[in-house]
Amino acid sequence: MKKKLVISSGAGISAESGIKTFRDAGGLWENYPVMDVASADGFARNPKLVHDFYNQRRRDLQKAEPNAAHKALVDLEKDFDVYVITQNVDDLHERAGSKNVLHLHGELMKIRSISDPDYIESLDIEHLETTPQTRGKNGDLMRPHIVFFQEAVPNIEKAAELAHEADIFVVIGTSLAVYPAASLLYYVRKGVPIYYIDPNPAATPDIPNLTVIPEIASKGLQTLVAKLRGEG
């Protein structure tokens, strides 16, 4: 029976594909104050700005391709039962071929009903643009399927379950500053090995069984794969 390998991925894994990281210098994202384009208040104040912002993010995503780090996780499925919990809203894990992906902060290529959060539709390359007047097939007004600041994270309980079930837990490309995602480390069972891949790793003095690999995602995963397969 394959061991359960649970991955928690952040912006660092997509940065190598040209996806700009969420938290930019000075609290700006693509020159916008983050709270204007990624908060519940911001959406209530100016829904057109938020729709336009995510339209541009979708256009940018079409130019991006999965990188070696995304592909390495797919390759690990040969030897492990791999589950990816991602803070990223892009679809690069899926496009690389990962079978089990749980999105904590929503999905860029989906929209959902403003009145019914469980009603979700997928977009495609021919239909990337939305506006405050966009309606779903059911007639509901739609919004980006993004978990804004000031909103609950619906998938955090499922993510915590996966972390608790892990035989090996890996954190890739995250500052460990965004909660509740950063709290997943504390759901890992005692004695389970934890690996943390990041070129600028956060201090983690209270995490037992932790191995820090201070490298970018693609290189760090090469190191990890060698360790997991007994080659390093």
* Catalytic residue IDs: 105
DSSP secondary structure string, 136-158?
-TTS-BEEEEE--BTS--TTHHH
217-220 contact pairs (CB < 8 A, 24+): 217/12, 217/13, 217/15, 217/16, 217/67, 217/69, 217/172, 217/173, 218/16, 218/67, 218/68, 218/69, 218/72, 220/69, 220/172
Q: How far apart are the first and last CA of the chain?
A: 23
- In the block, residue with structure tokens 């972390």: 163
Q: 92's torsion region: left (phi>0), alpha (psi -120 to 50) or beta?
A: alpha
Give the whole-angstrom CA distance, residue 143 versus residue 130: 8
Provide the residue type at 189 as one letter.
R
Q: Collapsing DSSP states into helix, strand and coil, what is residue 44?
A: helix
Give the whole-angstrom CA distance, residue 122 versus residue 107: 9
Angstrom CA distances, 179 to 48, 115, 150, stand at: 27, 26, 12
